[in-house]
Structure 1
Amino acid sequence: MSGGLARQRLAEERKTFRKEKEFGFSAKPTKNADGSMDLLKWECLIPGKDATDWHNGFYPLTLEFTEEYPSRPPKCKFPAGFFHPNVYPSGTVCLSIINEDEDWRPSITVNQILKGIQQLLDSPNEHSPAQADAYMFFTQRTEEYRKKVLAQARHYSIDRVN
């Protein structure tokens, strides 16, 4: 029964996202081998915010939902090795609104998750480091951190994504 609720909620969220999506954001379910939609795994793009070092980048993110959604948050992952203090080397994002032991609430939507992660890109949480190198650069070697972020933005520019 709960699996049906998860898929029903995700189908509604997909409709809402398509109607209300903001420029640069993309979020859509992947396809199963038979061509049907897999509502439990989404591929997304998050644009870097204007006037930040992340600007001009479109960052790929996967959302992996379980049958317990929305009682439990999705796992949110950038590609492995993504450079950010709050992203584990595996690519998993460390953010309170997607942590069921912290600020996750079943009312949080896919759109809110993506906007929260976009905000996290330029505003890392120093109190929740997930990646030693990125954390060290962010807290101690700011100019080198900025250069790495700019290089990553170039790597994920629209020219490379398309």
Structure 2
Amino acid sequence: MSLRNIRLQEERKQWRKDHPFGFFAKPVKGADGSLDLTVWKAGIPGKAGTIWEGGIYPIRLDFPAEYPSKPPKVKFPPGFYHPNIYPSGTVCLSILNEDQDWKPAITLKQILLGVQELLNTPNPDSPAQEPAWKAFSKDPALYEKKVLDQVKKYPHTV
């Protein structure tokens, strides 16, 4: 068994034992019904008391063959509105960049909490999509309206 799969089995075990309230993360099922540990679907709730509250935002994590030496690719649906999310949905976050702050010890839980933190505290120095970055920087009312529209698109249903 590969190092990646051993690590991902351990991550899954840890996640099932202890994960932050409101989050979900699970490997996808292959056509034959078996779990594919290299691709996960997850949901990140908007933090209480922020404009993101009330939504649960879908992401996909793809773990490369070199994981945990290399970080997973983390993507929202294409077109997700946020200054640090590329139009393709790819998340621009230093802990997910092997040339910046990625370390093999970073866990699934830390990744998802990091992405949740990024939602409400965008990094204006690392813009990934111009419309959201411009609104965040220059037109906070428009930015808030667009985020609130997105909350409605991804309601937190229990």
TM (norm. structure 1) is 0.95
Instruction: Determine the structure 1 residue equivalent to 2:115.
Output: 117
Q: 5 Å matches for 1:11-90?
A: 11-90=9-88
Q: Is the 8 A contact 2:86 2:128 kept in 1?
A: yes
Instruction: Determine the structure 2 residue equivalent to 1:134.
Output: 132
| Cα distance, 1:33 vs structure 2 | 1.0
State the Cα deviation string for residues 87-137 of structure 1 (Å, max 9, x = none): 000000000000000000000000000000000000000000000000000
| Cα distance, 1:158 vs structure 2 | 2.0
Q: How many residues align?
A: 158
Partner Cα separation in structure 1 for residue 102 and residue 19 of structure 2: 22
2:27 match: secondary structure: strand
1:17 match: secondary structure: helix
Q: Is the 8 A contact 2:81 2:147 kept in 1?
A: yes
Partner Cα separation in structure 1 for residue 34 and residue 14 of structure 2: 20
4+ runs of 1 displaced by more than 6 Å?
none
**Structure 1, unaligned runs of 5 or more:** none
Partner Cα separation in structure 2 for residue 50 and residue 77 of structure 1: 22
Cα RMSD (Å) of the superposition? 1.0
Of 90, 93, 102, the match for 2:91: 93
Partner Cα separation in structure 2 for residue 19 and residue 156 of structure 1: 26
Partner Cα separation in structure 1 for residue 110 and residue 19 of structure 2: 11
Instruction: Determine the structure 2 residue equivalent to 1:9.
Output: 7
Partner Cα separation in structure 2 for residue 53 and residue 155 of structure 1: 14
Which structure features the higher share of helix residues?
1
**Structure 2, unaligned runs of 5 or more:** none
Q: 5 Å matches for 1:141-156?
A: 141-156=139-154
| Cα distance, 1:21 vs structure 2 | 1.2
Amino acid at match of 1:128: S
